[in-house]
Structure formats: C-alpha cells, structure tokens
Structure 1
Amino acid sequence: MLCQTTKRLYKTCLVDGGRTCHRVDPRSALSQTFSAVRSDVTAGDLHDGPFSLIVHGRRETFLLVQFVDSGQVVEPDLLRAGAMQMQTPIHSYLFNSSGLLLLANTTATSSLKARGMTDLANMQLADLLIEEGRRQPDAAEQALHSILVDKQPAYRITLRNRGRSILFEMWWAEDLVLLEPAVLVNSFDITSQKEVEQQLEDAKRQLLIQNEHLELRNVQLEEVHEATCQEKARLLEEQQGLQDRLKKALELHLHPKTSVDTATVADKIISMFDDMLQGKVIEMADVLELRNAANGAKDLRQPVNFQEQLMHRSGLSQDVGASMIELLQGDSHSSARRWASSMSSKRTVERLRPRRSTMDAVPSLHRNDISIAPTPRITSDEPEDAIVQVDRPLVPELEQLLQAASDTSSFQFDMFQLCKASINKPLSALGFFVLSGSGLLQMFNIPEQKLLNLLSRIEEGYPDNPYHNRVHAASVFHMMHLLIHNGLIQQGVLDGITMIGCYLAALCHDYDHSGFNNDYLIKTRNPLAITYNDISPNENHHVAGAYTMLMSSPDYYFSKDMAVEDRNILRAAMIELVLATDMKKHFSVLSQFQMIKPTGPASSQPDGHGHISASLGDLAAQQKMLIAQVALKCADLGHLASQHELHRRWVDALTEEFFRQGDQERAKGMHVSPLMDRNETAGLIKSQVGFFEIVALPLFKQYVELLPMAQPVLDAVKANYQYWHHVHHLHDGCSKDV
C-alpha cells in the first residue's frame, strides 16, 4: 500500500552511532526499511503526495520510524545549527532522561571509538563518567537528578582519569524527536587545556623574552644607526670640505682670486641688513667701518677704495691698475690735472707758436680731422647701396650665413665671414634678416623698406675703426639676439616694444664712434664732452646721433606712425640701454642687478640646458630694464665668448685702436693713457687677465645666475680666460728665466 501510494520517498536522516546516512531512493531500500520497523504504522499515517522517511534508532534495529510530509520546508538555520553542532571540536553528547546516549557529535564519536567504546547504541551516561578507570553510576545519577529533577540550569563535575582531568558540563535539553527531556553534555580535557594554556603562557613568556632581546637589539641598532649617520654626516662634511677645497684650487688655477673687493658700499649695507634679518650677530667694528666707508664714498654704487686697491693691493702692475681705474671709474678732474701737468713742459714752446682762437684749439671729433689710418675695407665693384632694396634676392652663401647667425641654439658665429659675404654690410644684412622674421614688424606696422633704409644708414654711420666698427656692431646685435631668445623671452623680461628697443640699441650702441674713449674726449675738451657735460659723451652721442638720423627723413622714420606711448617707450628704452654701456657705470649697474630676485613660479619645463628657470615676468618695469641693460653689456663684451681665434682677433683690433689713441695723445703732448703706448706692450696679457677677473667673469656669472639659459656664454668666457691665464703664467715664467 505504501508503494502504491508513495510516488517518491526520501530517506533524509538515518542516525547510526552519530553518522548520518546519505539520501537514497526509498523504492530501492523500501523492503529492508519496513522489515526493520516495529512500530504500528498504518495506511492512515500516509499522505498522498511526496514523502520523506526519517528513521531514528540504532544500527539495523530502528526504534522509531516517522513519516513527515516532505512538502514542508526545514528552516535553513536549523540545518546550519545541526551542522555546526556535529562539526564542532568540543565533545558533545545528548542523553535521555534514563541516561541512554541518543546522539554524539562527530568529534565525540571518534574519541569514544578511539578508547574502545564501540557499542554506542547502548552507552550510558555512567560509561562516560570514568574516574581512575572506574564507571561512576552515582555521579551519573546525581547529574541526571540535578538537571531533570532539581531543574538546575547547569551541572559541572571534574573527574580524573589516566592522569588527566576531565570537566563535564551538563544542561537541560529537549529531545526534539521524542519531545522528551534530555541532558546535553560537553566534556573538556582540562589537563590538555592547561597544557595548552601553559604552552601558550610559555610561548608568551618566550615571546616577551624575545621581544626584550629584539628591543635591546633595536636600541643597539638605533645606536649603530645614529653612529653611522653621524659618521656619514662627518664623511659628507669632509667630502664637501674636500670638494670646496678642490673647487677653490681649481678656481685659483683657472680664476685666481684678486685681492680687489668689488663689492660696493650699497652692496655691503644690504648684505649687513640681510645678516641682521637672519639673526646674525653684527660686530660693531664692521658697522663703524661701513659707516666710515659710506661717509667717504662719492658714489654708494662704486667699490670702496677701488683705486687704492687696484694700485696697491691687487697684484696688478701700475699700468694695468691705472688702465682699469680709467676704464671703470676715471676721475675726470684728476685726469685733467694729469693732462695739464703733462703739458706744462711744453708751455714755453707753445708761447713761441702763433696763437689760434679758442674754438680752433678744440680738437674735432670728426674722422677727417684726426690722423687715423682707416682699416682695410672689403672692396667690391657694387655700389654702396647694393642690398638696400627689400626684394633683392640673397646669394646662397649669404643666405646660409644669415640662417646660421639667426640660429638661437648656437652661440658661436664668425661675423667676419658674414662681413665678406655681405660685401661689408653685415649689420644691415643681419639686422634686416632677423627683424623681418621676428614678427615685430607686423606687430607694430613697421614698413620693411623704411627699416632697411634705417639699417643701411646706421651701418654707414660706423667709421672704419679697428674695433668700434660695423662688424663689432653686428656682433653685438647677434649676441643680443641670442640672449633675447635664451632667457629674456622665456622668463618674461621683454614685451614686444622693449624687444625692438633692445635690437635697435644693439644696432646703434656705438654709432658714429670716433675711436677714442670718454676720458680722451673729456681731457681734450671735445665738443661732445662739452655738449654732454663730461657725462658719457660717447654713449650720449651714439643714441642721440642715431635718433637724430632716424628722424631726419621719412625714409628712415619707421616709428612715426606708432602709437605715442609705444614711441615714448621705444625711445626711453634705447636711451637707458645705450647709456648703460658706459663702463664708468659698470659697478653701479651690476650692484643694482645683484638685488633682483625672481618673483614668479619656476617653469615646470627645463630649458635646453637642463635648467629650471624662474619667471621674471612679475618684476617691476625698471627691474626688467635693468636686466636688459646687463644683457646689452654682456653683448657689448660678446667677443669674450667667441672661439679663441676670433676672440684674439678682436683683442688685437681693440689693442690697435688703443694704440691709435695713444699715438694721438703723444702727438698732442699729452700723457699717454695706460696700455695705449704701442712702444710698451708688456702689459697686454696682464690687462686681459685683470679685465676678466674684475669685470668679465663677475658680470657673466651674475647674469647667468638670474638667466641660466645663457650658461654656454659663461662657459665660453671661462675658456678664453683660461687661455689668458695660461699665457700669463708662461709669460711670467719666461720673464723670471730672463
């Protein structure tokens, strides 16, 4: 009847000594299952539909068979709780009220079988409670009574067996199958637990000991680390000291420090203020010394006791020291007195000569009034204005040279080659090529033809002096072009109109130069010295003469149609730039330049030489102009950064120009200026070394510190200085041998 009614039966739980049998199809196990059932199951207990057969009892002899509707869903939490109970490592047992074992979890079953207790179906609670190998029925009875009768919430008993103490904990429970009271028992091996605890305690103690050792070792390592750091710091300091000594030794070899202190009074005052702001102690003696220097200084922007230093403490010869004084300071009054003294021996002769008018006695500036042999010019059959027309095509050689000259990535160029290729017009050729391609003409609506006319006229205004000629002007323009595109633009120093001013200032900075320095013009009462009150007569004339020529004809006056503000800025820039090239203002300009500090953020992109340049764009306009002035000063001395052969050629040209001035001074009965006597050439090498050390190297170094993209220029200057320094030592050695 069961087989006919049941469509599908599942044997879900068959307990056999704590083991759960797997699910089987009841149709294959139905005969053996019902042959063992001894409960009175009737057909009425069966329900139509799917059933599950749950069998509880002993192996092969079942105590109970219960049919449950398999359509009912068992709570998942109950299944999980049963799985947890069966798999826990704690020994757990369930006994009925008579003390008969109903269920033991997997851990407990394995332990019992390991001790030889195989008949788990008939196991009593007394069989579990063993003390020294003997069953304890009384203890079992007492436990059952306490839990089931006395209703104690828990009962504990500790028994010792085989040298181990076992703790039994018991609670009241319910047999959910028979719905009868039961006792849940958990057993704990206290000895093992104590052993584990002792092991843990020993391990903990060992860890503490190890930790103490580690802490001690850590302290030792920290001491070693600190000592190592101190030793490292000492070695680094020693290394730095050795590097400094090596650097100083190299500097002394390549750039021996002179005993000349070129710091101005203003520099020293500002330096003292900086020390005070940094909290440094200022000695009263230093304050008094600086106070006395300031009181005795005619110009706070000039070095203290510069003349005395050069003449007595610099190690320079008298003539070299005197030439440096005349170049960089030049007291016009004392110079005049020296000139008057040099003329006193000729007064008797002068009285016997026919007297001339006062104006006739003033030496003229113009070239045709001074006996100077012109330097050889590059001759050609072409007329003077051969390249004046804008649309005239360039010959390939000239175009290649102009391309090379305008390349801002290279600081080396032979301007003499361009002079030859351009038929003695290097200034107008290079000037027009650069400016017409700069975009500035379009920006300010400058007509190309007017610009070319102006450039040609400026070039014609350069005499054929050995040094201050059109080739020199083109070289200065070229170097200024390189400096503009290697720092001045990138760091925000120049705007468009100021850039035009820089280019034009370079073009006309020596316009109509007579070949004589300012001291000569002042001593001879030249009209330019009279006109400009002995203040930078050459430089004032260069910019004034160029501007006069610019405005003299509509063919040249390219800036006439500019906005008034732009015209004013352009003129002011040209004046300030050209006047700053007077070497008498060198220390004043350089002293102010040293005070400039970048205010803008550094560029995130390195320049072509690996430098990260700080922006100068937020500086005041006057500070930007000061930077441009120093740039033009560097460009004016640009031949110091030329390749050695070209540099030496320029030095020879300048020396010849000096000698020609000396010839004129001798012819006029004047005292020949230092290093301008062609009969005394021994001081030439020393003068070059002194000029590099006192003027050139400090100038270029300070410029590169602020505008590091110009580093190749400084490197080239150092290379030429090294050459002169080497020659100087060779010359001294030969002199000593003689």
Structure 2
Amino acid sequence: MDVRQLLMPVFSGVTLDGPSRMLRVDSKPIKVETSPGHVEIAFLHVIESEGSSHTDLRVAAIYDRSPIHTFMFDSEGAMLTANQAALLAHQRSALGLTASHGSAITLRSLFDCGSYDGGQQEAQAAYDEAVDCHRHIHPHISKKDGRTKWAMIEMWPMQDPVTAGSAVLAKKYNISQQKELELQLASQQVALQRQNQELEQDSVIMQEEQRKLQREANSLAQRLEAVLHDKFTPRSGFDADTPIDKTLQFLQGVIAGDMPPVQTALDLYHILSESDTNLRQPVGLESQLLQHSLGSEVGQSMLQLLQGNSSAPRGGEGLIISGPVCMLSDKRACLESAAAQSSGLARHGSMTKQQQQQLFIPTNVTPDVERRLYDAESNWQFDIFGYAEACHGKCLSMLTFHLMKQTGIIKEHGLDESKLCHFLQKIESGYDSANPYHNSVHVASVVQMSHMLLCHGGVLKSGAMNRQQQVATYWSAMVHDHEHGGLNNDFLIKSRHPLAITYNDQSPLENHHLASAVRLLLQPEYQYIPASHCSAEATAQFRIVAVNQVLGTDMKKHFDITSRFQMVMKCADIGHLAAAARTHKRWAYQLEEEFFRQGDKERSCGLSVSPLMDRSTQGGMTRSQMGFFSIVGIPLFKAMAEVFEDAQPMLDGVMANYHHWEAATPEADLPA
C-alpha cells in the first residue's frame, strides 16, 4: 500500500526521499450514518509504527538535522552510520576500506585521505567547542589523472539519538571546480592588478610629460613675452643698450657679412666721440627716463636711482654737497643727527667681552624651522617671511650656516663651525630690525636666492663659478647690507655723512658694508677659515669676488654690471621681483615705507624730498614699479635666463609680478 496516497493530505510530511519507516496497517469496513436515515459504508485504517533499528534512528536523525550530511561519528571518531554513496566514494579514495567494512572508517581516516593533515583541531571545534558548520579544505592528488583535487569536509555537532552522547555529522564535498574557478579568478585578478599598475605608471609618466611640456610651453611663452616686451613695449620705449653694446652689435654684423647702414655707423661714431659719454650706461639715459610717458616724478626717481654721481644736479634740487661747507651751518645739527642714525656704527661699534661671549647662543631648531630650512634649498619662491617668523631673530645666521653645511662647504674647506657661528651671529646683529626693508630678513632672502642661482639656476653647473667663488658669493650675500641705516647713498652724500667723505661719494654704503664685514673677519675670534685655505692666491680671488659683488649692489652701477654680466648678486639683491606675488608685494610696500622715512628725515632737515619719497603723495614708490620692471628687472632677469636656462623659473616669477602691477595701473594697489 502506498502510505503517502493513503495519508495525504493528513500527513504531508512524508516525502519520496525521506527515511524508510516500517508501518503496520489494519483495515476493516464500518457503517457510518451520515444523515438521519442515510447510512454509508466506510473503511477504518489503524496504522502502527514498527520498532526501528539503531541505524534507522540515526539515519532519521541525520535527515531531521540536515539531509546533506552523509557520515555520523561518535565522540571517539568512530563511524556510527553513513549512506551507501558516501561509503562508495570513500572506498575509491582510501584503499582497503569497503562499504562492508564501514566500521573501519573513522573521522581520522576521513582526514587522512588528503594531502593536508587535519582532524585534531576540527574534532576539537566539533566536539569541545560545538562549532556549527566547521569546514576543512582538503586537497588530494587524483589517482586517475594525477591532478590536484579539492574537497571540503563540513562538520556539525549533534547528539546521538541512540546513546544520547556527543556525535558529529560530516559531509565531504568535491570543490575542485570551485577551486579552479577561484584560481582562475585570482590569476586574472593578479593580471588585472599588474595591468592596472602598468596603466597607472603610464598615466604618471604621461602626466609628468604633460607637466614637462606645459612647463616648456610656459617657459617659451614667458621668453617670447620678455623678448616682445623688450623689443616692442611702447610704454616707455626705453633703449637699455650701452655704447659698448651698440658697438659690439655693429661689429658682430660686420663679422657676419652684413652691410650696416651708413647712418648707424655715423650715430655710433658721434656717440663714441662725445667727451662725456659713459660707455657703460644707456645712451641718453636722462632724456629717456624723463620723457613724458614715464611721468615726471617717476622719471626723476629712476634717474636718481640708476645714474652715476657724475651727472650734473638739476636746477634748484641740486645736491648740497656741491656747494661750500658754510651752506650747512644752519642745518648741521639736524644733518649730523640723521647721518648718525643712517649707520649702525654707533650702535655696533663697541661691545664688552661679556656681550661677545653671549653672542653664540645655540638655537633650538624646531621641526617647523628644520622643514623650512630644507625647503629653502630648492624653492624658487621660498616663503622668507614665514621662515623668519619661525626663527625669532636668527633667520640669517641659521639659513647661511645650513646652506654652507648642506652644500659641503664647511667640510670641504675645514671651516671652524664654532667661529663660523660666532661670525654669522655677529654679522646678523649688525642688521637693524627697525628698518622696514634693509634688515636681516631681506639679507636672508638674498642669500637664499644666491644659493638658488648657483645650485639650481645652472651657474655652478655651467662652470661659470668654482667652489671658492661659491663660498665668496655666500659671504658677499650675507654681508652686502651690513650696518645699513635705512637711508640711501644720495642722503649720505647730501648730508655729508662721514661714510660719504671717507669713500669720496663713491658707493659709500656698499663700501662700508664690505669694509665693516672684512674688519670683523680679520679679528681672531671670527677667523673661521683655517690657515691652510688662506693662501695669497685664494685670498685674492675671494676678495675680488666679494668686492665686485658687494659694490655691484649699488643701483647706480646697474648698467655697468649688466654689461659685464656679473649679475648673480644683482639678481639676488632684487630677487623679490621673482618671489611669490604676496611676498613680492610685501617687500614693495616695506621698501616704500623705508623711502617714506627717508623723505620724512629730508623734510625735517630742510632738504628737498627725493622723488617718490614724499609720504603725502598717493602711491609713492609703488607708482614706479612698471618703470623699474621694464628698465631694470625684466632685462636683467631675461639676460640671466638666456645664459643660464635653469634660471627660467626666476624670469617666470618676474613676469607674473610684472603683470600684477600692470593690472593695477594707473592706481597702485595700496594695502588695507
């Protein structure tokens, strides 16, 4: 009898793949009155379950727990029961075991069929820890084709329905196909990662090439712009060629086989034959600077800034130095007071032994200062003001020492580090922090820009300077404004300052900067250069470089320096023209304030106020920026970049700041 048909839908839990159950069925007919007077015959079935064997109970328990499991092991690992398919599969994988000898199968033998040992930890997890669904990956070598196959043993804890003791259900899966897919996916993932890395590397290379091409394009654009500005800018029409430049250009044309116009030869003849011709200043400098397009006051300021002392005074604004001494009788007290303030000699001239010993105080270099020092080694637009604020008054000495140390100068020349530190701090003490512009921060900026030109601008790489000249350049940059009083050479000359008298009105400030620093260097406590490096030849070369560079910072020698191309110090001295816009603008206004202070002194002393130094005039010095860039800055930095291509970033910065001032014309962008 089909029990399922008999009992459905009363007992729908019995399925075709369910466990076998022994049932006894007794049937007998009965009469049933379904309604008054109506009787039907029905069958009564009595079903009784026969007593099940231990195997049946365990099979039923496995089925109730999960029909996927095929083995049951007791707490000792001995097999309690298994289905026929599982036994046959185990027989194929384990020699000597057959379905008829199923009692020989243990949990241990199930694990021993694989290449990886297992069983102990798995048994602990199943029996002691009662971990549900504990799985063990089981690789083995196929006896059929010798390939690696993968199986997975899954175990669940349960209770033996016969003994009520601990038991484990186990199922062995063939996961070879899954593993092969995983390996293929892993291999593909590795290949994709490799391709992705290659693509990323290619992208980085392409981006770098793009940036390089962009830099080259920007550089070419800046050069073209500088050339066009130099040749075709109509704002001032300034001709910066000196008589020597014009002569050389004429001769180069003749050598190249060109036939120069006769008029050009006649013009050059007249220029050279004039008795008052300055061969190293642009032809007609004064008339060019005072032309209407520059503006009267701006032109006079540029003339005063750039023209040598040989030019004649103009009208009623002539220099007092050209008159007799008695002309100063009623102003002497004021002038002598101002003159004393214009030099740091009174302030730094004498120092007690105790003060000298206190000069060298080791400065703790904070991580912030250290980071900024390393940034100064290679940054064309170094944040000098941020660095100075972090150094607390030691920006010049710390930066100079760091650069000399990092470039190997100290080790190579065997310099005495202690004496060098004393000298650097002594020099730094000679800069007045009250000066808005000519202070130690400005000088530190010049040192940093000199380093950039030498080490990153191509000067050393080209062989234009050697290591000894590099040392001299650092030294010159460090001392080039030593004991500057915040007043320019014109004021010293007009006020008959002792420095102007001493140096016969020839660059009195620059001569004093150099002389005062050399006097310090000659003192025993500051002689940091060992005698072995002080040969007569080395000392003479050092002195030539230092004298030429420091005296060359006088703006009145600008065109002379440009012609001789001794421009490293000159570019560094006005290097703020190439600084970041914010830094450059701050320097411009600080220089303007220093000029205004000189104008205040000139007015209080009864002197005529120098052009662009009148505080009451709106804009002041900032109104001359366009002229200064056009006449001085752009030609100077352009010439530098043409010879040393690595210095192009400096010219780029100059052109960016030039456009800033150009956009602000005609009204200066005054600070808030």
TM-score, length basis structure 2 = 0.59
Q: 2 CA distance for matches of 1:285 and 1:523?
A: 42
Q: Select which of 284, 309, 312 maps to 2:288.
A: 309
Conserved 8 A contact 1:301-1:591: yes
Q: 2 CA distance for matches of 1:344 and 1:387?
A: 43
| Structure 1 pair 289–555 and aligned structure 2 pair: CA distance change class (3 A) | closer
Q: Select which of 280, 285, 307 maps to 1:329.
A: 307
1:263 partner amino acid: D
Q: 1 CA distance for matches of 2:582 and 2:232?
A: 19
What is the Cα deviation at residue 364 of structure 1? 6.2
Query: RMSD of aligned C-alpha atoms?
Result: 3.5
| Structure 1 pair 288–559 and aligned structure 2 pair: CA distance change class (3 A) | farther
Long gaps (5+) in structure 1: 1-242, 371-382, 594-625, 733-738
What is the Cα deviation at residue 259 of structure 1? 1.3
The aligned counterpart of 1:159 is: none
| Structure 1 pair 279–510 and aligned structure 2 pair: CA distance change class (3 A) | same
Aligned residues: 435
1:573 partner amino acid: V
2:426 corresponds to 1:426: no
The aligned counterpart of 1:668 is: 605
2:554 corresponds to 1:590: no
CA-to-aligned-CA distance 1:67-93 (integer Å, 9 cap, x gap): xxxxxxxxxxxxxxxxxxxxxxxxxxx
The aligned counterpart of 2:341 is: 367
Q: 1 CA distance for matches of 2:399 and 2:328?
A: 50
What is the Cα deviation at residue 332 of structure 1? 5.4
2:290 corresponds to 1:320: no
The aligned counterpart of 1:516 is: 487
Q: 2 CA distance for matches of 1:341 and 1:506?
A: 31
Q: 2 CA distance for matches of 1:441 and 1:519?
A: 39
Among the aligned pairs, what percent are the same residue?
38
| Structure 1 pair 466–295 and aligned structure 2 pair: CA distance change class (3 A) | same
Q: 1 CA distance for matches of 2:485 and 2:560?
A: 26
The aligned counterpart of 2:158 is: none
Q: 2 CA distance for matches of 1:369 and 1:511?
A: 9
| Structure 1 pair 554–730 and aligned structure 2 pair: CA distance change class (3 A) | closer
The aligned counterpart of 2:267 is: 289
The aligned counterpart of 2:170 is: none
Q: 2 CA distance for matches of 1:511 and 1:356?
A: 26
Q: 1 CA distance for matches of 2:636 and 2:554?
A: 14
2:409 corresponds to 1:440: yes
1:367 partner amino acid: Q
The aligned counterpart of 2:632 is: 695
The aligned counterpart of 1:449 is: 418
Conserved 8 A contact 2:320-2:494: no
Q: 1 CA distance for matches of 2:320 and 2:553?
A: 30
Q: 1 CA distance for matches of 2:386 and 2:294?
A: 37
What is the Cα deviation at residue 654 of structure 1? 0.2
Following superposition of structure 1 onto structure 2, how do residues 405-484 of structure 1 map, counting pairs within 5 Å? 405-406=376-377, 408=378, 410-464=379-433, 465-484=435-454
Q: 2 CA distance for matches of 1:531 and 1:427?
A: 29
What is the Cα deviation at residue 568 of structure 1? 2.3
What is the Cα deviation at residue 306 of structure 1? 0.8
The aligned counterpart of 2:82 is: none
Q: 1 CA distance for matches of 2:227 and 2:410?
A: 51
1:432 partner amino acid: F
Q: 2 CA distance for matches of 1:646 and 1:494?
A: 29
CA-to-aligned-CA distance 1:649-677 (integer Å, 9 cap, x gap): 10011001101111111111111110011
The aligned counterpart of 2:544 is: 572
| Structure 1 pair 547–364 and aligned structure 2 pair: CA distance change class (3 A) | farther
Q: 1 CA distance for matches of 2:590 and 2:431?
A: 15
2:461 partner amino acid: Q
Conserved 8 A contact 2:437-2:590: yes
Conserved 8 A contact 1:436-1:448: no
Structure with higher Rg: it is: 1
What is the Cα deviation at residue 437 of structure 1? 2.0
The aligned counterpart of 1:269 is: 247
What is the Cα deviation at residue 547 of structure 1? 0.5
Q: 1 CA distance for matches of 2:646 and 2:230?
A: 26
What is the Cα deviation at residue 584 of structure 1? 1.1
Conserved 8 A contact 1:342-1:669: no
Q: 2 CA distance for matches of 1:589 and 1:349?
A: 36
Conserved 8 A contact 1:675-1:684: yes
CA-to-aligned-CA distance 1:587-614 (integer Å, 9 cap, x gap): 1111233xxxxxxxxxxxxxxxxxxxxx
Conserved 8 A contact 1:316-1:690: yes
Q: 2 CA distance for matches of 1:484 and 1:248?
A: 23
| Structure 1 pair 530–557 and aligned structure 2 pair: CA distance change class (3 A) | farther
The aligned counterpart of 1:184 is: none
What is the Cα deviation at residue 284 of structure 1? 2.1
The aligned counterpart of 1:259 is: 237
Following superposition of structure 1 onto structure 2, how do residues 131-142 of structure 1 map, counting pairs within 5 Å? none
Q: What is the SS of the residue equivalent to 1:483? A: helix
1:475 partner amino acid: S
Q: What is the SS of the residue equivalent to 1:519? A: helix
TM-score, length basis structure 1 = 0.54
| Structure 1 pair 710–522 and aligned structure 2 pair: CA distance change class (3 A) | same
Following superposition of structure 1 onto structure 2, how do residues 132-171 of structure 1 map, counting pairs within 5 Å? none
2:248 partner amino acid: I
